[in-house]
C-alpha cells in the first residue's frame, strides 16, 4: 500500500513526530509512506483547503491508496477532503475510531486533530491509530453480523458521490480556483509522488500544465 501523509501550516512543526510514527507502523507492514505536505514551518505554505485538493489528485490518479491528513482540530481537513470526488475520509481521534472506520466505512483517508488533545502520549496515540487503520482485512463490519448492510451502505455512498462528480477528475480540477490548485501541487515531494506513481495520465498532464 502507498500512503500519503499531508500536514498544513498550523501543525507543520509536528510533522517529524507524526511521520516517524507512521513510518514505524508502515515499514513493519511493507507499506510505502510519502510525506507530501509541509515538513516544517518553513516549508511551502499549505492550508487544509489545499490538503483536500492534494488528496483528491493523489487518490483519483491512483498515485496512493490511502491518505493521512489533519489540521488543528481535524475538522477542516475532514471537510476539505470529503469535498473531493473519490475521497472518503473519516475523523479519527483514537485507535477505536480508526478500527471502526476500517471495518465499517472502508474509506481511503483519515483526518486527525494534531493540536486539540495533542498532549502527553500523543505520539503513542498516533501510532496506535495508524496500527488500527492499516492492519486487518477491511470492510468486515462491526459487529460482524452487521457486515452485509454496512458494505451495502458504503457502496451506495460511493455511487451517490460518483454521480455528483464531473465527467472526469480533470474537469473537477478545472472548476476549482486555479491559484488554489497551483499552490496545492507546488511541493516537490507531492510532485514526485504523483508523477512517479500516478496511473491517470490526464491528471498528471493537467498538473504539469499548471506547473509549466
- Condensed to tens digits (0 to 9), the pLDDT of residues 126-143 reads 999 999 999 988 999 999
| DSSP tally for the chain: helices H, then strands E | 10, 5
- Give the pLDDT confidence score for residue 163 in this predicted structure: 83
- Residue 172 lies in domain: 2-211
Separation between Cα atoms, residue 141 and residue 164, nearest integer Å: 26
Closest alpha carbon to 69 in 41, 48, 53: 48
The CATH number covering residue 97 comes to: 3.40.1400.10
Sign of CA dihedral 109, 40, 131, 121: negative
Percentage of the chain with pLDDT > 90?
93
CB burial string 151-182: b at 16+ within 10 A, e below? eeebeeeeeeeeeeeeeebbebbeebeeeebe
- Give the pLDDT confidence score for residue 167 in this predicted structure: 81
Q: Region 156-175: what's the mean pLDDT?
A: 88
Residue 164 predicted with pLDDT over 80: no
The secondary element (H helix, E strand) that includes residue 3 is strand 2-5
Q: Region 156-183: what's the mean pLDDT?
A: 91
- Per-residue cell: 196: 512517479
How many other CB atoms are there within 10 angstroms of residue 99's CB atom?
A: 19
Closest alpha carbon to 77 in 21, 22, 6, 130: 6
Number of domains composing the chain: 1
Q: Region 60-77: what's the mean pLDDT?
A: 98
Closest alpha carbon to 84 in 72, 69, 97, 99: 69
Separation between Cα atoms, residue 88 and residue 104, nearest integer Å: 12
Q: Are 167 and 202 in contact (CB under 8 A)?
A: no
Over residues 14-62, the pLDDT tens digits come to 999 999 999 999 999 999 999 999 999 999 999 999 999 999 999 999 9
- Per-residue cell: 64: 496512493
Separation between Cα atoms, residue 192 and residue 194, nearest integer Å: 6
Amino acid at each position: 500500500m502507498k500512503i500519503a501523509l499531508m500536514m498544513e501550516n498550523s501543525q507543520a512543526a509536528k510533522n517529524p513526530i507524526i511521520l516517524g510514527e507512521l513510518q514505524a507502523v508502515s515499514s513493519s507492514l511493507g507499506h510505502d509512506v510519502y510525506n507530501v505536505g509541509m515538513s516544517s514551518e518553513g516549508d511551502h505554505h499549505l492550508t487544509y483547503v489545499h490538503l483536500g485538493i492534494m488528496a483528491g489528485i493523489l487518490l483519483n490518479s491512483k498515485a496512493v491508496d490511502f491518505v493521512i491528513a489533519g489540521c488543528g482540530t481535524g475538522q477542516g481537513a475532514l471537510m476539505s477532503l470529503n469535498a473531493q470526488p473519490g475521497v472518503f475520509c473519516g475523523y479519527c481521534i483514537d485507535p477505536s475510531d480508526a478500527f471502526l472506520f476500517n471495518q465499517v466505512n472502508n474509506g481511503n483517508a483519515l483526518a486527525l486533530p494534531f493540536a486539540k488533545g495533542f498532549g502527553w502520549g500523543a505520539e503513542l496515540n498516533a501510532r496506535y491509530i495508524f496500527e488500527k487503520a492499516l492492519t486487518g482485512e477491511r470492510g468486515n463490519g462491526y459487529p460482524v453480523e452487521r457486515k452485509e448492510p454496512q458494505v451495502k451502505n458504503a457502496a451506495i455512498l460511493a455511487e451517490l458521490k460518483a454521480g455528483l462528480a464531473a465527467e472526469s477528475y480533470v474537469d473537477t480540477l478545472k472548476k476549482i480556483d486555479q491559484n488554489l490548485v497551483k499552490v496545492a501541487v507546488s511541493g516537490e515531494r507531492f510532485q514526485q509522488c504523483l508523477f512517479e506513481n500516478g496511473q491517470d495520465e490526464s491528471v498528471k498532464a493537467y498538473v504539469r500544465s499548471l506547473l509549466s
